[in-house]
Structure 1
Amino acid sequence: MLKKYLDYIKIENMLFDLPFILAGMLIASHYIHYIKFLLILIAGASARTSAMSINRIIGKKYDMINPRKKDWALVSGNIKMKDAILFTLIFIVIFEICTFLLNYLVFYLSFFVVIMFIIDPFLKRYTAIRHIFMGGIIGLGVIGGYLAVKPAFTYNPLIYIISVSVALWVAGFDIIYTIQDIEYDKINGLKTIVNTYGIKNGVYASDLFHISSAVLFFISGIIINSLYYYTALLIIYTIMIKEHLIIRNDINKIMTFFRLNSFIGIVFLIGIALSLR
């Protein structure tokens, strides 16, 4: 039973957001009490779990007729809709409890986060901006990690620069990820950049987002001014270049692109942790 739920929420995809939440936490303070650290970790994991499950529930109508998704737990019937809804509610409650125990600011903001989780799956039915919206949700995790430690918005631009950089990075790779569903999306009228403007222009848009993300990461590096951080950025840039070369050579290697992306968050977190010791 555990395995099917881990597969249902794609637990490995937590590598795309948890490292940035923890990075925001470390930027606020490098010395975190282990209880607070655990609360932030559980809050981040439960938020990701809730978001993924909400996406599955709302998108089931379309997933049912997408051949690529025929083996997904909710589509195949391996997980029933009522169980998926209960599962989601449990993790939303866990998320809210953790934010309440952290501080009132992140608790109040957490309700807006859940609303964003609900809006996100609907957006792709109406606008290609959904790529940016989804990226924005994950980018806000950086600010959320910071506020979990220091419950007040800061004038320090670093946290906001990194947040926008993460949002652009996510939007860029989400554009590439949707290429595998382009024919299905056209038939069903779902809005993605590759569906609306074509694969070639979609790849260019992804390039633009990732170049913009890289520039902002570099600006954050100037602020942090650490050899560890610059080394992490060098690795991240190498991964970004490698994955875009892969896509240009073979558009069908989307999952290779996706797997390479999963290392970026880990490398970034290590760079932040070593730089702020």
Structure 2
Amino acid sequence: GGIPSARVLALVVLCAVAARTAAMAFNRWLDRDLDRANPRTRGRELPSGVLRPDHVLALVVASSLVFIVGAFALNTLSGWLSFPVLGVLLSYSAVKRFHWLAHGVLGLSLALAPLGAWLAVTGSLEGDLRVPLALAAAVLLWVAGFDLIYSCQDAEHDRKSRLHSIPARFGVARALQLSSLLHLFTVLLLVLVARSAHLSWIFYAVVAVASVLLVVQHRIVRPGDLSRVNVAFFTLNGWVSVVLFLGTALDLAVHSPGGPL
């Protein structure tokens, strides 16, 4: 149905920023003692004393309220669904304390974004949901896959602290193999998105570029050498998201009947 109104786009961005802020701040608040015991994370703001726990918790509450109010401003259904969505977003930090599927919960947290965007624009979950569902599944597997890579560097610490993760439970080598498999299915799901949404060769081209970036990150991170985890986790996955966004925008601009070009 064309490009959403400026109001809807602004509210979607507001909700996304507020939700991410709430989730990240809650993670830092809940994990502050664990971060203090981990040599990799003890320099973070809470363990190092730069920020006070009550201030961070206040940020969680404020961001959560902004998210809820923004969701209700979009439409009533978005508003009511913001509560269980917020529950999922905040649950990731707790899940790793009792189950190694925490990576999937993190993936689910971000996978809710495409469905939330659909709901924000349409006001319902009716109609042909193949595209948002396929995109949500792709995001879930992509995020879970790169979180597996990132968590490999804490496998030993997780075992000592009795935290649950796939690298700690099954080993780094198997975690990296599973990550590769998840990213393979991510690419296949992106192709399904292209077919379902009738996108052009432009989107297929950016999916190919994203695939190369995913392959590179799996080649530079090895069970015996985790020195380039941050490059894989932050840099390469950052470029994956940028490439996919720009490619999608360009595809719609050039080929959509209501596109600006």
**What TM-score results when the alignment is normalised by the length of structure 1?**
0.87
Percent identity for Structure 1 against Structure 2: 27
Which residue number corresponds to residue 227 of structure 2? Answer: 252
Counterpart Cα distance in 1 of 2:71 and 2:142: 26
Q: CA deviation at 1:61?
A: 2.3
Residue number in structure 1 paired with 2:158: 185
Ranked by relative contact order (alpha carbons within 8 Å, sequence separation 6 or more), the top structure is: 1
**Structure 2 matches for 1:125-274, cutoff 5 A?**
125-153=97-125, 154-223=127-196, 224-248=198-222, 250-258=225-233, 259-274=235-250
Unaligned runs of 5+ in 1: 1-28
Whichever structure has more helix as a proportion of its residues is: 1
Whether 1:43 and 2:15 are equivalent positions in the alignment is: yes
Q: CA RMSD in A?
A: 1.3
- State the distance in 1 between where 2:199 and 2:7 align: 30
Q: 2 CA distance for matches of 1:164 and 1:260?
A: 20
Give 1:105 shift: 1.1
Kindly report which structure 2 residues correspond to 1:95-134, keeping only aligned pairs within 5 A, or say none: 95-134=67-106
Q: Matched residues in 1 for 2:68 and 2:129: separation? A: 27
What aligned pairs does 1:3-42 form with structure 2 within 5 A after superposition? 29-42=1-14
Aligned mates of 1:225, 1:32 — CA distance in 2: 18
The answer to whether structure 1 residue 77 and structure 2 residue 49 are counterparts is yes
Shift of 1:118: 2.5
For structure 2, list consecutive stretches of 5 or more residues without a partner in the other structure.
Answer: 254-261
Provide the C-alpha distance between the structure 2 equivalents of 1:217 and 1:145, rounded to a whole number of angstroms: 17
Q: Could you tell me which amino acid in structure 2 is paired with residue 67 of structure 1?
A: P
Within 2, Cα distance between the matches of 1:121 and 1:156? Answer: 30
Give a deviation string over 1:42-61, Cα, whole Å, max 9, x none. 11011000000111111122
1:30·1:276 contact (CA, 8 Å) conserved in 2?
no
Aligned residues: 249
